[in-house]
Amino acid sequence: AAGSELVSLSRLGKSYGGVHAVQSVDLTVNAGEVLGLIGPNGAGKTTLVNMVTALTPPTTGTGTVLGVPLSATTKAHRLAQAGVARTFQQIKLFNRLSALENVLVGGYRITQDTLLRRLLFLPSARRSEREAVAMASAQLIRVGLADKASNAAGDLSYGDQRRLEIARALASHPSLLVLDEPAAGMNHVEAASLSELIRSLAADGIAVLVIEHNVRMMLATCDRIMVLNFGEIIAFGKPGDIARDPRVLEAYLGSS
Ligand code: ATP
């Protein structure tokens, strides 16, 4: 239904000088849907999600994300307020803060400094702070990190750090969650469990837009997959169709 469209892009594109990083993408993403973006290095995946999250403005086409039109002046924080949250290719955690504190910092925009002062000098936390802690704990439970809430983020395994980033993104209660290579560096067991987590978020009604090089995991996780190559959509559809598509096989296996 049109009412559940959270992302709607029409001929969206981005050029850097003569380089067409993304060409003319049409896309809708619905609530509860997992939409995957795959493609070789430099295909335009990051550029596309950067446009969807207003980190970079499009040079052609139009788009609306959670009711906010994408334009040259759309600010990323405006989209965050509207309900967009994302993780990045590079893990961005405060290594010396606990898992719980990392979720608090991310979810409630408390600066690290303020948080530390409160934790150190105000042991009798005010009600709003207790609520914040309860909500942050709920996100750790959701991603399976409840028993590691007080562990320093830097001491967590790589897979757990990736989960913690998702918990932090979830703390703002997003309608659209954008994940940039969430399975990078994960082994098969961790990736399978991440896949389950992503499906459970979709079951809660969150739309998930995910970039990932682990094609096997993407085929198992996504409702639809868009395959980009040199900024162009070379295939778009259900995982079963994507896995059989000759152009996809060529892009991944063919010589360049
Ligand atoms: P990867 O899987 O390596 O992250 P990607 O699919 O995310 O790749 P992009 O990072 O979106 O690809 O890059 C797409 C194209 O746009 C590449 O040719 C890249 O060199 C170019 N590009 C991206 N950002 C810029 C920029 N700020 N200035 C110039 N060119 C850029």
pTM, rounded to two decimals:
0.90
Helix or strand run (H / E) with residue 198: helix 188-203
Distance 108 CA to ligand 1 centre (A): 31
Banded model confidence at residue 129, pLDDT cuts 50, 70, 90: confident
Evaluate the CA torsion angle 104, 105, 106, 111 in order and state its sign. positive
Please report the atom of ligand 1 found closest to the CA of residue 50: 11
pLDDT digits 0-9 by tens, 33-79: 999 999 999 999 999 999 999 999 999 999 999 999 999 999 998 99
Whole-angstrom distance, CA of residue 177 vs CA of residue 83: 8
Task: From 15, 19, 229, give the residue whose CB has the most ligand 1 atoms within 8 Å, as the site to mutate.
Answer: 19
Determine how β-strand 34-38 pairs with β-strand 207-211.
parallel
Whole-angstrom distance, CA of residue 144 vs CA of residue 156: 13
C-alpha to C-alpha distances, 110 to 106, 113, 116, 153, nearest whole angstrom: 7, 8, 10, 17
Q: State the ipTM, two decimals.
A: 0.95
**Of the ranges 2-11, 112-121, 208-217, which is most confident?**
208-217
